[in-house]
Amino acid sequence: MMHLITVVDARMGRGKSSAAIRYMNEHKDDKRFLYITPFLSEVDRVCKKCDFDQPDCALGSKSRTLKRYLKAGENVAATHSLFYLMDAEAKALLRDMHYTLIVDESISLIASEPVSPWDKDMLMKTFVTEDEDHKLIWTEPKYTGVLKEMRKKIEAGTLYNTDLGFMKIANPDILKSCEDVFMLTYMLKGQYQYAYLRYFGFDYRVIGIKEDADGFYFSNKPDDPPPTNYGGLIHILEDRRLNEVGDDRTALSVSWFNTHGESTPEIQALRNNLYTYFQYRCRGSRKSSRMWTCFKDYSDRLLGDKGRYKDSFVQVSARATNDLSDRTHLAYLANRFVDPNIAKFFADKDIRIDPRDFALAEMLQWIWRSAIRLDHEIWIYIPSSRMRWLLKDWIQEVSRG
């Protein structure tokens, strides 16, 4: 079926989703579409603008509903939770009905799968084996216990075993079953999607976005955006005292937070800096205009006894939502590195994700939840020297086009 994946690589605000909606509306009479996105709000938007169907019941029933739509040849928009549970019947329907798949940029094609050491040991000894690529294979057909959800993922071909734990990986057979596949992203070589495509041997072409009187559309060439002066919109805090805590290259990374408890001088300084920034460097800011992040597991360390700014916390992985477009005062208290579990998985086949592009792309996706998505000014505190300079370099690059 599908031999070449089309990657639409264009930065935020370039109209990727709008171009996808236009493409689907223009080809509804000669193509069938499955649009996958992580967020129900985006599913609702596509269904409204394109008159698509969507599974709208419990997860187990959603899978059956999806297959009913596919069997009828309907155009469907769905969340990525279903993407990991597509069984052999669903893949056969995609192939037989010649579906075009459009994957929103925010979908996670690969992620660590939480599992306790005890559960992993029991699974490996009793219920599963693994193939030469370390994909898990369920071997106990009569099992109906508490691990039944894990069993569904294994039987869907989405769980792999690594030295550091399980990896949940979208089954490549889903992509291979589609007639065409479009993947919407930005900075491809810094994305897990890039490593995924290489790992499973997919060929791909990269295109961008153009605009005419009718709106945005897919181009036939890599994106060629006009120069944009984000330096006039994104105001990065330059304060030696507040930024000092992030001078080291790995400061504010997951491992850094893991080794710095709530009572350490560094965490106390960062907590005080957050307060100083919002109270004294962002005069006129208010609860509804603030937005800050660090890694979720460590956010309580920065809230203090009073839980100050708790309601302004936005997860570091936040994407694809317009609900925060009124936020103008931001604090990015994180330093992003590729998940070592994921990095090791791909390294076994000599595949490397660009660490600079990964960190920058992740930070930009978070920043673009704010008022900058509407081309409004924002003010941001980035104590990590590494992340701060990545953003500064990117602003200079896009100002040249």
The mean pLDDT of 26-37, rounded to a whole number, is 94
> What letter would DSSP give residue 214?
T
Report whether 143 contacts 127 (CB < 8 A): yes
Residue 58 pLDDT > 60: no
Residue 60 pLDDT > 60: no
For tokens 């810094």, name the residue.
Answer: 190
The pLDDT, as a whole number, for residue 7 is 96
Write the pLDDT tens digit of every residue in 195-227. 999 999 999 999 999 999 999 999 999 999 889
Q: What are phi and psi of 274, to 5 degrees?
A: -60, -45
Domain ranges of the chain: 4-109+171-218, 111-169, 230-399
Rounded to a whole number of angstroms, the CA Rg of the chain reads 22
Higher pLDDT, 137 or 146: 137
Write the pLDDT tens digit of every residue in 355-392. 999 999 999 999 999 999 899 999 999 999 999 999 99
> What letter would DSSP give residue 127?
I
Instruction: Report the distance separating Cα 21 and Cα 17, nearest Å.
Output: 6
The mean pLDDT of 96-116, rounded to a whole number, is 87
Contacts for 211 with CB less than 8 Å, ≥ 6 apart: 15, 217
Confidence of residue 106 (pLDDT cuts 50, 70, 90): low
Report whether 37 contacts 213 (CB < 8 A): no
Helix, strand, or coil here: 273?
A: helix
Instruction: Catalogue the long-range contacts made by 211-218 (C-beta closer than 8 Å, 24 or more residues apart).
Output: 211/15, 214/22, 215/15, 215/18, 215/19, 215/22, 216/14, 216/15, 216/16, 216/18, 216/19, 216/22, 217/19, 217/22, 217/23, 218/6, 218/8, 218/19, 218/20, 218/23, 218/182
Average pLDDT, the chain: 90
The pLDDT, as a whole number, for residue 319 is 65
The pLDDT, as a whole number, for residue 371 is 95
Confidence of residue 247 (pLDDT cuts 50, 70, 90): very high
At 330, which amino acid appears? L
Which fold would CATH assign to domain 230-399?
A: Rossmann fold (3.40.50)
Q: Provide, rounded to the nearest whole percent, the portion of the chain with pLDDT above 90.
A: 64
> What letter would DSSP give residue 4?
E
Do the domains at 4-109+171-218 and 230-399 have one common CATH topology? yes
Instruction: Report the distance separating Cα 254 and Cα 297, nearest Å.
Output: 9
Q: Name the maximum alpha-carbon separation found in the chain.
A: 63
Which top CATH class is 4-109+171-218?
alpha beta
Contacts for 387 with CB less than 8 Å, ≥ 6 apart: 246, 252, 332, 334, 335, 336, 359, 363
